[in-house]
Amino acid sequence: MLKLFSTLRSRLILIIILTAVPGILLLVQVGLNQREAAKQDTLDEVIHLAEVASSVEALMVDNAKSFLLTVSHLPTVREQNYDECNAIFWHMFEEHFEYYSAFYVADLQGNIVCSPPEKHAPPDFEECDHYQNLIHATDFALSGYHICRVTGKAVMSVGYPVYDMQDQFTNVANVSLDLIWFYDFAKSAGLPEGGELIVMDEAGTILSHYPDNDRWRGYRLPESNIVAQLWTQKSGYLIGEGLSGEETIYAISDIHGTSGNLSVIMGLPTRIAFETANFTLKRNLTIMVVVVLLVLIFMWFLGDALIIRQARALVDATQKLAKGDLTARTGISYKEGELGQLARSFDDMADEIAERDAERDRQEVALKEYTLNLEHSNEELRNFTNIASHDLQEPLRKIQTFGEMLHDRYSGQLDPRGINYLQRMRDAAGRMQLLLSETLTFSRSINKEYQFSKVNIEQIIRQVLIDLDWQVEQKQAIVEISELPTLEADEVQITQLFQNLLSNALKFHSPGRQPEINVYSPYPRDVTDNEGMCEIRVQDNGIGFNEKYLDRIFQPFQRLDSSGEYPGLGMGLTICRKIVDNHGGTISAYSSPGKGTTFVVRLPKKQSIERLNNHENDTK
């Protein structure tokens, strides 16, 4: 993904696309808002239709009541002239009462005494709860809409008691209102193609369905159906697969009338309900995509002239400069905004690099001269070392020899002052010889060619103790050696390092105390710290020293003991530090007067590539 947008042109394209994203999201949000508005419009429409249906139903019920009230006061009915009654009602129902699915006048024993002949099917009074309520009523009785067992129609029965001329309760009159009026009402409501208008009773049974009323009337939907779920919800709207099999938005409202708890549900296919929103969204997105494409095309050509060309010039100049062409420059006008400023900065940097390169060449020449001079100085130092090892020691040995001869042959002829002078001369010659010896040792530690190899420190310590066996035995020292690591080092110098440390531990012991020396590592064998260093500690119980003089003890010819009780010139620890430095390590110490000293030597487990390369060059 990062590689795809690695070029400047692709990043400009990405910026344009990202810039267009908020607009696209806004258009999508507008489309979603329009959809929500369409849902709310559907809900508002079904509420309006429910209110109108409630008014129509109330009007029809009032008309039925008026009709029944008129019938109950007709002389033919009160006088029980039923032949004339049948003829009258035949004409009335045939011409004027199309939504009356049934009409009858019955006595209190369940016998129909007046009804339009062959027009309405007689009810089954034995199972008719409405009739049983009616014969005990003193006013209008309503059954609520239900599916008639005889006709299969959705009807509501409205009944009224009939009294004879002597005001005796003799009969009941009943009218059944066919809910087909709601179908005609839905048909005239102007629903779009595919729209549905459904009436369901309080049991969840469909009483009327527009269209396909005959198919769905009396049907009870399963609970998984979206219409049944909305009926259970009793309010709002839901979207799902409709009765027609396509995605539909359904909204629900109650019919508030005299017919009980009826619910009216309106359904519109989403392709119709969201048609305007979908069209607007597609149109706006198309316009947005076309605009973005035009901007991309415009940017492709204009961006090349304004940005890409200058950027390529910068890249080419940078690549040339990286390959060592210090004459590379951008060639871009410095007046072209940020890219011009960048070009100016690059060219200035190239000028600075060229100047530094020239300066470096001059410094290299000077460094070569300095190196040559340093090599000459080193050569002179090596010559001085040879002189010190041969020419200076030769007359010193003669002084010592003639001093011995004077002492052996003429000491009896010298007075005490002469003998004192002779002894002081011999002591001075001895100190001079020791000074030369220590100086040569230090010089060799500086100029020696290293021979790095795998060195077992524990074996080195044990060999050193063999060499110091006489001193250990003379001072009855106790030496303990724990597990020590194996590392890359120069075996000769490491041997000298620990010989000096152990010699010091034996030499600077406390009078009257048995020397105890412990050589150990705080880590398990061959385990290093986070820096790849091994640590070896040499601990003694000797005279110790004040740690404020820690730096001083590693300086050449520096001694903390001024009493002369402990021989030496103060070069041992200086040589130790130089050996540790040669190996890329460190040496330090912890001590306090009279409580012994612990020297801490840290050496790398493996030598650096630079030191190994220097070693290889030295051995060629």
Looking at residue 599, what is its pLDDT? 92
Q: How many CB atoms lie within 10 A of CB 11?
A: 11
Residue in 442, 440, 496 with CA at minimum distance from that of residue 468 = 496
Do residues 299 and 291 make contact, with C-beta atoms less than 8 angstroms apart?
no
Both tokens assigned to 498? 């620990």
Average pLDDT over residues 446-474: 82
Which pLDDT score, from 0 to 100, does residue 387 have? 62
Q: How many Å apart are CA 235 and CA 230, to the nearest integer? A: 7
Question: What does the pLDDT read at residue 620?
Answer: 46
> Which helix (H) or strand (E) element contains residue 359?
helix 337-390
φ/ψ of residue 580, rounded to 5: -65, -40
Average pLDDT over residues 465-480: 87
Q: φ, ψ for residue 122 (rounded to 5)?
A: -70, 145
Residue 332's pLDDT is what?
65
More confident residue, 278 or 616: 278
Sort strands 141-142 and 100-107 into parallel, antiparallel or unpaired: unpaired
How far from each other are the two terminal CA atoms of the chain, in whole angstroms?
Answer: 52
CA 64 to chain CA centroid, Å, is 73
Three-state SS annotation for 445-462: HHHCCCCEEEEEHHHHHH
Q: Of 423, 497, 491, which Cα lies nearest the Cα of 453?
A: 491
pLDDT attached to residue 339:
62
pTM of the model: 0.45
Interatomic CA distance for residues 507 and 493, integer angstroms: 21
449-619 belongs to CATH 3.30.565.10: yes
Cα–Cα nearest to 307, from 9, 5, 2, 4: 9
**Residue 177, pLDDT score:** 81
Helix (H, G, I), strand (E, B) or coil at 262: strand
Is 70 exceeded by the pLDDT of residue 400?
yes
Q: What would the 3-class secondary structure string for 496-515 be?
A: HHHHHHHHHHHHCCCCCCCC
Most confident of 90-99, 144-153, 245-254, 413-422: 245-254
Residue 329: pLDDT above 60? yes
Q: What is the pLDDT of residues 242-295, one digit of tens each?
A: 887 888 888 888 877 655 678 888 888 888 777 788 788 888 888 888 888 888
Parse the chain into domains and list their residue ranges: 73-178, 449-619
The pLDDT > 90 percentage for the chain reads 4
What is the structure's pLDDT at 619? Answer: 43
CA angle 164, 165, 168 (to 5 degrees): 45
pLDDT given at position 512: 79
Write the single-letter amino acid at 414: L
The pLDDT assigned to 260 comes to 60
Q: Are strands 100-107 and 206-210 parallel, antiparallel or unpaired?
A: unpaired
- Distance from C-alpha of 488 to C-alpha of 533, rounded to nearest angstrom: 11
pLDDT level of residue 601 (50, 70, 90 thresholds)? very high
Does residue 200 contact residue 231 with C-beta atoms inside 8 Å? yes
**What is the tens place of the pLDDT at every residue in 537-580?**
999 988 888 777 777 777 765 555 544 455 555 577 888 888 88
Element (H, E) at 491: helix 491-507
Between CA 422 and CA 403 the distance in angstroms is: 7
Q: Mean pLDDT, to the nearest integer, of 59-71?
A: 83
Looking at the chain, the whole-number percentage of residues with pLDDT higher than 70 is 78
Whether domain 73-178 has CATH 2.40.50.1020:
no
The CA distance from 46 to 238, in Å, is 13
Over residues 211-241, the pLDDT tens digits come to 888 888 888 888 888 888 888 888 888 888 8
What confidence score (pLDDT) does residue 147 get? 80
Question: What would the two tokens of residue 555 be?
Answer: 């300086």
Sequence-ordered list of residues with C-beta below 8 angstroms from that of 240, at least 6 positions apart, any chain? 226, 229, 247, 248, 250
Residue 583: which residues within 8 A CB-CB, separation 6 or more? Answer: 489, 490, 493, 494, 603, 604, 607, 611
Q: Which of 314-323, 347-356, 518-527 has the highest mean pLDDT?
A: 518-527
Amino acid making up residue 282? K
- 608: pLDDT strictly greater than 70: yes
Backbone angles phi, psi at 430, to 5 degrees: -65, -45
Q: How far is it, in rounded angstroms, from Cα 2 to Cα 256?
A: 65
Report the relative pairing of strands 452-456 and 486-490 from DSSP bridges.
Answer: antiparallel
Backbone angles phi, psi at 174, to 5 degrees: -140, 140
Tell me how far apart the alpha carbons of residues 614 and 620 are, in angstroms, rounded to a whole number.
10
pLDDT in tens, 69-119: 888 888 877 777 777 777 667 666 665 666 777 788 888 887 888 877 665
With 60 as the cut, is the pLDDT of residue 352 above it? yes
Q: Tell whether the model's pLDDT for residue 519 goes beyond 90.
A: yes
441 pLDDT higher than 70: no
**Residue-level length of the chain:** 620
